[in-house]
Amino acid sequence: MSSHERIRMSSHTESMDQARVDFERALKRTEAAMAYAKRPLAPMVGQTPKDVVWTKNKAKLYRYHAKGDRKHATPILFVYALINRPYILDLAPGNSMVEFLVEQGYDVFLLDWGTPGEEDAGLKFDDYVLDYIPRAVKQVLKHSGAKDFSLIGYCMGGTMATMYAALHPEAPLRNLVLMATPVDFSEAGLFSAWLDPKHYDVDRVVDAYKLVPADFIEFGSKLLKPIQNYMSPYATLMDRLDDEQFVQGWLVMNHWINDGIPFAGEAFRQWIKDLYQQNKLIKGEMRLGGRKVDLSNIRCSVLSVVANLDHIVQVCQSTPLLAHISSEDAEQLAIKAGHVGLVAGRSAKQKFFPGLNAWLSARSN
């Protein structure tokens, strides 16, 4: 056999081997697709064991079970946004910020706002910040037996946590952690253009809906990156259907993304008009319950965490905060992640959680 014939036969064999590999993978993906179609529509989420220790209207306060000794004297209260489910902070075992902190020995509480009904359309940030959060704080101190607490807010929840800290300087708030938290709305990317009062009549929206639908809000967020949000996830899923670990992660994340809740109309009116359109918080013009939200009243230890790849909350919306507060112990931590990747996914556990634990543990004993 000539060298040319041997090369041609070797090339033919390699092609056959590659075709076999491709066929076997295609077969596995087809089997995986059939198994995927049979899965329950709602994957298991929020699995870290917990108890409901207090309720008010639709809101619930969870306390997570300890794993071993609670090493830190200062408990943690999570405050999340009004328009998404808070289980993004406890997405799945091994992919959970709550689980991580519990394992580090913290006493962890989470305020779940629940799903508002039409009867809640009149709720405002005044109610959430001046009534719900203070009552939850009292329960955290009561059940933990602690004299002070740490408050962790994420996204809109961070904005509310900021307002709470500014309006309650007498509270035993030891640490304030703000994750991807907007406080300055002067430059909010595409949202600034879309929500410009010249084009967007928020009063008309609220008066029409009363309770602003979850799909209405979700559509606006997804339009920031339409290809990435509407096409890429499913293309990636089809390409990796034979990777069981990836599929499990994809399922729980996709479930959360499409599991939004409606926005109480009056709170939505404030969110758009007072913050996005008039930028009252950073200007010192925001008032809740007739009281001025003065950021200079914040004197506790503060950690502001920004996600460098965040397209929901621009980095420039978070960074001005430290210049307006009175805390002597205040710093900003920048993480290379997106808005959701900051708190969920493999990179969150590697890039953010250890740094958060180091900062909190030094201030929780």
Q: Enumerate the active-site residues.
A: 155, 310, 339
Closest CA to 110 of 168, 34, 169, 59: 59
By residue count, the chain amounts to 365
Residue 83 near residue 175, CB atoms below 8 Å: no
DSSP assignment letter at 217:
H
Extract the runs of DSSP E, i.e. beta strands, from 162-202. 173-179
* Other CB atoms within 10 A of residue 137 CB: 22
Q: Tell how far CA 23 is from the center of its chain.
A: 40
DSSP string over 123-143: --HHHIIIIIHHHHHHHHHHH
Helix intervals (H) in the chain: 3-37, 97-103, 125-127, 133-144, 156-167, 190-194, 202-209, 214-222, 226-230, 232-239, 244-257, 265-270, 280-283, 315-318, 346-351, 353-361
Residue 112 near residue 136, CB atoms below 8 Å: no
112: left (phi over 0), alpha (psi -120 to 50) or beta: beta
CA dihedral 130, 169, 180, 207 (to 10 degrees): 20
Q: How far apart are CA 359 and CA 175, in angstroms?
A: 10
Residue 130 near residue 153, CB atoms below 8 Å: no
Q: Tell how far CA 48 is from the center of its chain.
A: 17
C-alpha distances in angstroms, 261 versus 83, 116, 212, 216?
5, 8, 9, 10
